[in-house]
Structure 1
Amino acid sequence: MYIQIEDVKKSYGEGGSYTQVLKGITTSIKQGDMVSIQGTSGSGKSTLLNCVGGLDQVDSGKIMIDGKDIVGLKTEKLSDYRREYLGFIFQFYNLIPNLTVKENIEACKYLTKSPLDMEELLQVLGLKEHENKFPSQLSGGQQQRCAIARALIKNPKLLLCDEPTGALDSKTSKEILILLEQINQTYKTTMLIVTHNNVIKNMMDQVIVVKDGVIKQDYRNETKIPAAQLEDL
């Protein structure tokens, strides 16, 4: 397995404010799969994603990525892991407002020794005609495409997406999901997608449902359908 998570626990606070968010998460994920992590607000799904991304340190357990345990890595090694392995996409695009589309993407290009081709990426993501625009001149969907391109330019092995369609309307959400599917098929990028949208699971290879800090369901999707056929987003 490409990702192996074993009995991961995570808490915040002390004393009266102590909260255990993850209560022993165990799962495994195949390389090249698209995986949804679902659950209601406060279920622990985003915390789990942050732990896999090395943004949060766990209390106990193992998170094996390509055979390497990232739990307990020192700050410098964690930075190396995020730079070499990961791309992040968030609900809010976090673009640099005074940089153009192309400049926003280039900001991450120099973090890797083997970036994807900029021109190809602009074409694939439908951003070529917008490359010299600033974020304020883009629609929400175009800003999310730029954020996706910025994450992908590093040619990451693992793409972590936290509510990537959460701020978008239904039509634009479908366009972004079709785009993520296309990226997965083209670059074989493993994707973990946190979402509260129950429809998105239908296009996934694996579905993980988290409730109150534990996994309630974890299964292979035998009836996977293309993103273009999703309804009621």
Structure 2
Amino acid sequence: MYLEVKDVKKSYGSDAGYTQVLKGVTTSVEKGEMCVIQGTSGSGKSTLLNCIGGLDIMDSGSVKVDGTEIFGLKADALAKYRKANLGFIFQFYNLVPNLTVEENIQVCEYLTDKPLDMNELLDTLGLTEHRKKFPSQLSGGQQQRCAIARALIKNPKLLLCDEPTGALDSRTSRDILVLLEQVNRKYGTTMLIVTHNNAIKNMVHKVIILKDGLIKKDYYNETLIPAAELEDL
């Protein structure tokens, strides 16, 4: 099993401000699978993603990625773990405004010894003609494509996507999901996608639904609907 999550608990605050967000989450994802983590606001889905990504430190439990246990790792070891294994895509792009598309991608290209080919990646994501533009010269969809390229250039084993279509209209959302689908097929990248959008769960291999910090449902889709055919995005 590529990703193994066992009895993960996470809380914030203390005394009157104490809140337990994750109350013992156990699940797993095979290598090369696309997985959606879904739930209402406050269900714990982004917190779970952040614990897997080493951005939040869990209170207890276990997260293993490709056999590596990350619970208990110190800051420098966590940084090495993220560098070696992970790519991140966020809702609001987080591009550096005074760098071009190509330069934004190069920020992460320098983090690995085996980056993907820049020209091939730009072509795959439809960014070749925009490579010298700055973020302010791009549409929202183009900025998200750039953010995806930045995450992928280091050829991550695991791509963590937090509401990747949350700031986009339905047509652009579909385009981004088609791209993620293509990336999964082309590079075999394992993906975890946190989303509020109910339609996205139909295009992925596995669905995890959280409620009040616990897994309510955890299942595989028998048939997948291609991203291009999803409705109500």
Give the TM bin, normalised by the shorter chain.
Answer: over 0.9
Q: Structure 1 residue 225: deviation in Å?
A: 1.3
Question: How far apart are the structure 2 equivalents of 1:2 and 1:108?
Answer: 23
SS at 1:102's partner residue? Answer: helix
Q: Structure 1 residue 52: deviation in Å?
A: 0.2
Q: What do the CA deviations read for 1:6-43 (whole angstroms, capped 9, x no partner)?
A: 00000000000000000000001000000000000110
> 5 Å matches for 1:185-224?
185-224=185-224
Question: How far apart are the structure 2 equivalents of 1:197 and 1:48?
Answer: 17
Question: How far apart are the structure 1 equivalents of 2:232 and 2:76?
Answer: 44
Q: Structure 1 residue 115: deviation in Å?
A: 0.2
Between Structure 1 and Structure 2, how many residues are aligned? 233
Q: Structure 1 residue 170: deviation in Å?
A: 0.2
RMSD: 0.4
SS at 1:166's partner residue? Answer: coil
Question: How far apart are the structure 1 equivalents of 2:107 and 2:3?
Answer: 28
Gaps in structure 1 of 5+ consecutive residues: none
Q: What do the CA deviations read for 1:123-169 (whole angstroms, capped 9, x no partner)?
A: 00000000000000000000000000000000000000000000000
Runs of 4+ in structure 1 displaced over 6 angstroms? none
TM, length-normalised to structure 1: 1.00
> 5 Å matches for 1:51-200?
51-200=51-200
Question: How far apart are the structure 2 equivalents of 1:22 and 1:224?
Answer: 29
Q: Structure 1 residue 68: deviation in Å?
A: 1.2
SS at 1:219's partner residue? Answer: strand
Question: How far apart are the structure 1 equivalents of 2:156 and 2:58?
Answer: 23
Amino acid at match of 2:95: L
SS at 1:76's partner residue? Answer: helix
In the alignment, what sits opposite 1:33? 33
SS at 2:142's partner residue? Answer: helix
Question: How far apart are the structure 1 equivalents of 2:63 and 2:115?
Answer: 26
% identity of equivalent residues? 72
Q: Structure 1 residue 232: deviation in Å?
A: 1.2
In the alignment, what sits opposite 2:20? 20
Q: What do the CA deviations read for 1:73-129 (whole angstroms, capped 9, x no partner)?
A: 011110000001000000000000000000000011000000000000000000000
Question: How far apart are the structure 1 equivalents of 2:130 and 2:65?
Answer: 36
Q: Structure 1 residue 224: deviation in Å?
A: 1.1
Q: Structure 1 residue 223: deviation in Å?
A: 1.9
SS at 1:154's partner residue? Answer: coil
Amino acid at match of 2:104: N
TM, length-normalised to structure 2: 1.00
